[in-house]
């Protein structure tokens, strides 16, 4: 059994009692927080929600070489997490359960990890220049042909990605099943092999 699985098993049998504050009323969460999250594609934390009442949280921060954090759901829209290296933060669940707003001002968005309507891995062009897109578990990277990273982002759903570009701007890309990405800045990328 892996370390994170051992931690989850421990949480499931009552570690949460040691995490919750005295007198904190715990209400079931309407939306599960289990899944992959991101700030804009650069952070890649994952959350496991479990335990007897489904109110215990385990936040895996290994992507940043940080220790695992633990927390508790306190209502249908609020929770807290204690990060061993950063302290305790409260969070609010918004956006239908796809957005977490933290007490330190940061925002995490849920990463869609399912299959996209078109495989976006590979070379793309806007007719002028070429870029390479990689999608790994819903985390999207855009690089130039020489390997220079020019954007990071994530999949929002099966047909939408959001990418923040180093040259400025964050844009939504609508993935067309026929091999096009139509960006919110009115540009379109295509797979050069398909078009």
Burial of 147 (0-12, 13-18, 19+ CB in 10 A): exposed
Write a three-state SS string for 15-72. Answer: HHHHHCCCCCCCCCCCCCCCEEEECCCCCCCEEEEECCCCCEEEEECHHHCCCCEEEE
Per-domain boundaries in the chain: 3-109, 122-190
What pLDDT tens digit does each residue of the chain (195 aa) get? 344 433 433 333 333 333 333 333 344 545 799 999 999 878 999 999 998 888 999 999 999 999 999 999 999 999 999 999 999 999 999 989 999 999 999 999 999 999 999 999 999 999 988 999 999 999 999 998 788 889 999 999 999 999 999 988 999 999 999 999 999 999 999 987 765
């Amino acid at each position: 059994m892996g370390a994170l699985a051992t931690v989850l098993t421990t949480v499931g049998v009552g570690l949460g009692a040691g995490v919750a504050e005295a007198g904190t009323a715990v209400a079931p969460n309407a939306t599960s927080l289990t899944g992959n999250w991101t700030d804009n594609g650069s952070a890649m934390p994952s959350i496991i929600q479990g335990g007897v009442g489904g109110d215990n949280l385990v936040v895996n921060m290994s992507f940043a070489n940080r220790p695992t954090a633990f927390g508790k759901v306190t209502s249908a829209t609020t929770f807290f997490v204690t990060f061993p290296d950063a302290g305790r933060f409260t969070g609010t669940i918004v956006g239908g359960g796809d957005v977490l707003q933290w007490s330190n001002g940061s925002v995490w968005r849920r990463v869609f990890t399912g299959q996209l309507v078109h495989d976006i891995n590979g070379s793309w062009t806007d007719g002028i220049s070429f870029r390479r897109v990689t999608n790994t578990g819903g985390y999207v990277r855009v690089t130039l042909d020489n390997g220079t990273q020019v954007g990071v982002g994530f999949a929002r759903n099966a047909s939408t990605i959001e990418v923040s570009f180093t040259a400025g701007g964050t844009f939504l890309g609508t993935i067309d099943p026929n091999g096009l990405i139509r960006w919110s800045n009115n540009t379109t990328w295509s797979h050069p092999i398909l078009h």
